[in-house]
Structure 1
């Protein structure tokens, strides 16, 4: 059982984490944003391409990254930049998880699309725990 103080501390910890959503399908991006905000996390932006993702990256702690974007950029390519240059914790999202096998380059995991809000919430919680364990 958590106390009121523990609950407030956890809420404050969540609120202090910022999420970048890299997704070129608007309806999916809006659903991800809604689920993320319901958790108390701050969504810093929705990026639909590599350029936007890298511009927003310095403000992000965690990123949900689609594997294939309409501009031809790939999730693994963007994820590598986010992890190596900005220290962002990356979770890939794709309808074809096998396509990412062996190309995760520092990402925390892969979520199969379509993903339920429950799966997205659990993936974000796992990312938060991994950041915390790493001292970030």
Structure 2
């Protein structure tokens, strides 16, 4: 049996407060902990050590910094999924990130995304099938 690393702490990188709150509610309802919300690069980096999984928007308070934030989090070993209304902005992939899904995302879909990310974080392989609304990066 594989040695599973628990991946329960989710960082929400989203600059629209109401959307961030809705994502937080869905993540908690799915059984995960939210370690924080970030609306810009510095806020996200400040929460780096608390994070296992990051849900990252592309456009934030400090501009289109989502891709660079996602790459930085992934380089630090975090599991990153982009959630954006502009999936074409990261369609070619972001180094180390898992993939992208288009907003809006239903709560049930969000639960599937986070559960999939947690499974991938724990076993670091592709044993699990991705949710249909997740476009995996190569």
When normalised by structure 2's length, the TM-score is 0.82
Query: How far did residue 130 of structure 1 move?
Result: 0.7
Work out the number of aligned pairs and report it.
Answer: 122
Take 1:16 and 1:81, find their aligned partners in 2: how far apart are those partners? 18
- Whether the aligned pair in 2 keeps the contact of 1:23 and 1:46 (CA below 8 Å) is yes
State the match for 2:84 in structure 1.
94
1:122 equivalent to 2:100? Answer: no
Q: Which residue of 1 aligns with 2:66?
A: 75
CA contact (8 A) 1:16 1:42 kept: no
Where do 5+ consecutive residues of structure 2 fail to align? 126-138
Larger gyration radius, structure 1 or structure 2? 1
Q: What is residue 54 of structure 1 aligned with on the other side? A: 45
Residues 52/83 of structure 1: CA separation in 2 closer, same or farther (3 Å cut)? same
* Counterparts of 2:94 and 2:102, CA distance in 1: 14
TM-score between the two structures when normalised by the length of structure 1: 0.83
Cα distance, 1:103 vs. partner? 3.5
Over 3 Å counting, the alpha-carbon distance change for 1:16 and 1:94 in structure 2 is closer
Q: CA deviation at 1:76?
A: 1.1
Report 1:1-136 matches (<5 A): 17-84=8-75, 86-134=76-124
* Cα RMSD after superposing both structures: 1.9
Q: Between the two structures, name the one with larger relative contact order (CA 8 Å, sep ≥ 6).
A: 2
Consecutive aligned runs of 4 or more in structure 1 exceeding 3 Å deviation: none
SS at match of 1:92: strand
- Asked if the contact 1:49–1:73 (Cα under 8 Å) also holds between the matched residues in 2, the reply is no
